[in-house]
Structure 1
Amino acid sequence: MAECKKLLIIAHAPSENTQKMLKAVVHGASHPDVEKVVVTSLTPLETQPDDILSADAIILGTTENLGYMAGLVKDVFDRCYYACLDKTEGLPFAFYVRAGHDGTGTQRGIESITTGLRWRLIQEPLICRGDFQAGFIEQCEELGLSVAASLEAGII
């Protein structure tokens, strides 16, 4: 029997709406048809280098704060960057942003740091822009399912 893969979700979800988005990502990633993926969801403050080092794939979630990723998400990179550098090269990851504006600064920041880590972005970022919409929940669930199913299938 094949060993289970580990999908780590690191998300900053400070509001009711961002909590709904996070739950949707976890729900999608935990779909009953995906049997060989263990899903772990951590807040940025809970995340340690060993969590990242043991993951087979990562989904990052953040709010857009002053045109950049949330400070707590940046803190994960600050604390874990050097412990993960050269040990997580090629790590597949995806991310979503709850952006009140356009999300481009947040996207650039995440892509810049993960390029330095040499992680592999496996799909276009999900940028949920403007006023909150119910469709964000469905998109987040699809993101979770897509990453988990791809991980299980060995595509990523």
Structure 2
Amino acid sequence: MDAPQTLLILYHSLTGGTRQMAEAARAGAAAEPAVSVRLLHAAQAGPDEVLAAQGYLFATPENLAAISGQLKDFFDRCYYPVLDRINGRPYASLVCAGSDGQNAARQITRIATGWRLKAVAEPLVVCTHAQTPEAILAPKQIGAADLVRCRALGEALATGLALGVF
């Protein structure tokens, strides 16, 4: 590939769990020297950042069986300005959930399908089992094994971009 490839990792995190997952994915992706990795909070990203990237990793907590409001705001701001301009680009997702995370994962899949992105991995869901108000609001510490999985996903995305297989 002549032009450098960019992997955009977009996240929102209130209690730190999703941020840890996104940072682990960034560390894995950074191992691929042919790919530039951008880690941005969802509030910092707009259509220009989406258009400048060749691949995406969307990371969110599951809040009330949905993606976080901040990530939803990102999609609301960017959806139409990039529609039909990023077709076929690869994406994957990370979800930090208290129980199962499947609704948030499905919501990202539906949005990505509308953007005509190509899923290159199943959603990676990490369950914290936080079920009380105190546990839900407490700072999270993601386990080492789950962070290894996040790192591997980031590495796989970057490697695929570098090799042009997506």
Q: TM-score, normalised by structure 2?
A: 0.88
Equivalent residues of 1:3, 1:36 under 8 A apart: no
* SS class of match (2:44): coil
* Aligned partner letter, 2:40: L
Q: Is the counterpart of residue 66 in structure 1 residue 64 in structure 2? A: yes
Determine the structure 2 residue equivalent to 1:97.
95
Q: Is the counterpart of residue 42 in structure 1 residue 40 in structure 2? A: yes
* SS class of match (2:94): strand
**What fraction of aligned residue pairs are identical, expressed as a percent?**
36
Between the aligned partners of 1:72 and 1:16, the Cα distance in structure 2 is: 14
Equivalent residues of 2:18, 2:95 under 8 A apart: no
Query: Shift in Å at residue 3 of structure 1?
Result: 2.4
* Aligned partner letter, 1:7: L
For 1:85-124, what aligned pairs fall within 5 Å after superposition?
Answer: 85-124=83-122
Greater shift in the superposed pair: 36-45 or 15-24: 15-24
Determine the structure 2 residue equivalent to 1:7.
7
* SS class of match (1:7): strand
Equivalent residues of 2:11, 2:19 under 8 A apart: no
Between the aligned partners of 1:92 and 1:19, the Cα distance in structure 2 is: 21
Between the aligned partners of 2:43 and 2:17, the Cα distance in structure 1 is: 20
Which ranges in structure 2 are unaligned for 5 or more consecutive residues? 130-141
Q: Is the counterpart of residue 153 in structure 1 residue 163 in structure 2? A: yes
* SS class of match (1:142): helix
RMSD of aligned residue pairs (Cα, Å):
1.4
Aligned length in residues = 154
Query: Shift in Å at residue 58 of structure 1?
Result: 0.5
